[in-house]
Structure 1
Amino acid sequence: MIEFALAVFFLLITPGPGVLSTAGIGAAYGYHAGFAYLGGLMLGGGVTMLLVITGLAAIMLAVPWLRFVLLLASVGYLAYLAWRIASAGTRIGFTAATKPLGFRNGFLLQFINPKAYVVPTTLFSGFAFLPQSPVWEVIIKVVIFNAIWVPVHLIWLAAGAKLGSLDLSHRMQRTINIGMAGAMLAVVAIALLANR
C-alpha cells in the first residue's frame, strides 16, 4: 500500500495538463479563482477513473476511429493550452481572458487528457495489495488516490498564484511561460508517440 501511495504521489506531482493548467489559472487569476476549475478536474478525473476501472475506457479506445478522434481532440486542446500559456507574454499564466477556466473546462479536460487514463491504468492494474478482496482494494486505492490528488493540485494552484504575485522581470515571466508550455507540449508528444 505504501508503494501505491508513493506511485500516486510521483505520478500526480509531475507536470501534466491538469496541474499545469491549474498553476496557470492560479498565476493569472489567483488562488480562489481556481477552485471551480479544480472541482471540474476532480469530477472529470473521477469519471475517467471509473471508465478505466470498469474497462469501458479499454473498450472505447479499442475502436480505431473513436481512439483517433479522442487523440486529435486531446492533442488539439493541449496544444491550444500550451499556446495560450506561451503567448501570455510577460504575464505568467494564460493570455488575457475575461474570466478563468471554470468547472466545465476542468471537467471536459479530463476526457481528452492522456494522463487521466494512463495514471489510473498504471495504478489500478498494478500494485495489488488485497488480491483476495479486489473490490476493497479498488475502494482503498480510490480513497488514497484522492487523498493525494487534492493536496497536490492545491499545491500547484498555490504555486501558480504565488508565482503570479511575484515581481519577476518580464524576461523571467516569459521564460516561465515558455517552460510551462514546453512541458504541456511534451505531454502532447508523449501521447502521439504512445499512439503510433
Structure 2
Amino acid sequence: MLTFAAAVFFLIITPGPGVLSTAGVGAAFGVRAGARYVIGLFIGTNLVSLAVVSGLTAVLLADDRLRTALFFASIAYLTFLALRIGLAGSRIAFIEKQKPPGIPGGILLQAVNPKAYAVNTALFTGFGFWPQNLGVEIVLKFLILNAIWIPIHFAWLWLGVTLQRMNLPMRTQRMINIAMALSMLAVVVLAAFAQT
C-alpha cells in the first residue's frame, strides 16, 4: 500500500497538463476561480479512473480509428495549451483567457489528458496490495489516490497564485512560461511515443 501511495505521489506531482493548468488558472484568475477549476479536474480525473477500472477505456481504444482520432484530439489540445503558455509573453498567466475555465474546463482537460489515462492505468492495473479482494483494493486505491491528488493540486494552485503576487521581473516570468510550456510539450511527446 505504501508503494502504491508513493507511486501516486510521484506520478501526480510531476508537471503535466492538470497541475500546470491549475497553476495557470491560479495565476490568471486567483484562488476562487482556481478552486472551481480544481473541482472540475477532480471530477474529470475520477471519471477517467472509472473509465479505466470499468474497462470502458479499453473498449473504446480497441477501435483503431477512434483511438487515433482521440489521440490526435488530445495532442492538438495539449499542444494548443502549451503554445498559449509559452507565448504568453512576460506575464505569468499560463492561460490567457477572458474568463476562467471553471468546472467544465477542468472536466474537459482530464477527458483529453493522456497523462490522466496513463497514470490511472498504471495505478489501477499495477501496484497490487490486496490480492484476496480486488473490489476492496480498487476502493482503497480510489481513496488513497484522491487523498494525495487533492492537496497536490491545491499546492499547484497556491504556487500559481503566489508566483503572480511576487511581481517577478519580466524576463523571469517569460522563462517560467517557457519552462511550463516545455513541460507540457514533454507530456505530448511522451504520449506520441507511447502511441507508437
RMSD value, Cα? 0.9
Determine the structure 1 residue equivalent to 2:68: 68
Is 2:21–2:95's contact at 8 Å kept on the other side of the alignment?
no
Is 1:60–1:66's contact at 8 Å kept on the other side of the alignment?
yes
Determine the structure 1 residue equivalent to 2:161: 161
CA displacement 1:20-58 (0-9 Å, x = unmatched): 000111111222221111111111111110010111101
Q: Does 1:17 align with 2:39?
A: no
Determine the structure 2 residue equivalent to 1:100: 100
Q: Which stretch has the larger CA shift, 1-10 or 23-32?
A: 23-32
Is 2:82–2:182's contact at 8 Å kept on the other side of the alignment?
yes
Q: TM-score, normalised by structure 2?
A: 0.97
Distance 1:51 1:156, change over 3 A: same
Matches within 5 A, 1:173-184: 173-184=173-184
Q: Does 1:192 align with 2:196?
A: no
Structure 2 unaligned segments of length 5 or more: list them: none
Determine the structure 2 residue equivalent to 1:90: 90
Letter paired with 1:145: L
Structure 1 unaligned segments of length 5 or more: list them: none
Q: Does 1:46 align with 2:69?
A: no
Determine the structure 2 residue equivalent to 1:150: 150
Q: How many residues align?
A: 196
Is 1:28–1:91's contact at 8 Å kept on the other side of the alignment?
no
CA–CA distance in 1 between the matches of 2:112 and 2:29? 24
Structure 2 residue matching 1:99: 3-state secondary structure: coil
CA–CA distance in 1 between the matches of 2:152 and 2:127? 21
CA–CA distance in 1 between the matches of 2:38 and 2:89? 25
Determine the structure 2 residue equivalent to 1:30: 30
Structure 2 residue matching 1:71: 3-state secondary structure: helix
Q: Does 1:124 align with 2:124?
A: yes
CA–CA distance in 1 between the matches of 2:108 and 2:101? 11
CA–CA distance in 1 between the matches of 2:13 and 2:97? 27
The percent of aligned pairs where both chains have the same amino acid is 53
Is 2:8–2:145's contact at 8 Å kept on the other side of the alignment?
yes
Letter paired with 1:68: T
CA displacement 1:93-142 (0-9 Å, x = unmatched): 23542211111111011111001111111111111111111100100010
Q: Which stretch has the larger CA shift, 31-40 or 137-146?
A: 31-40
Is 1:38–1:106's contact at 8 Å kept on the other side of the alignment?
yes
Structure 1 residue matching 2:147: 3-state secondary structure: helix
Q: Which stretch has the larger CA shift, 144-153 or 35-44?
A: 35-44
How far is 1:66 from its partner?
0.6
Structure 2 residue matching 1:85: 3-state secondary structure: helix
Letter paired with 2:131: P
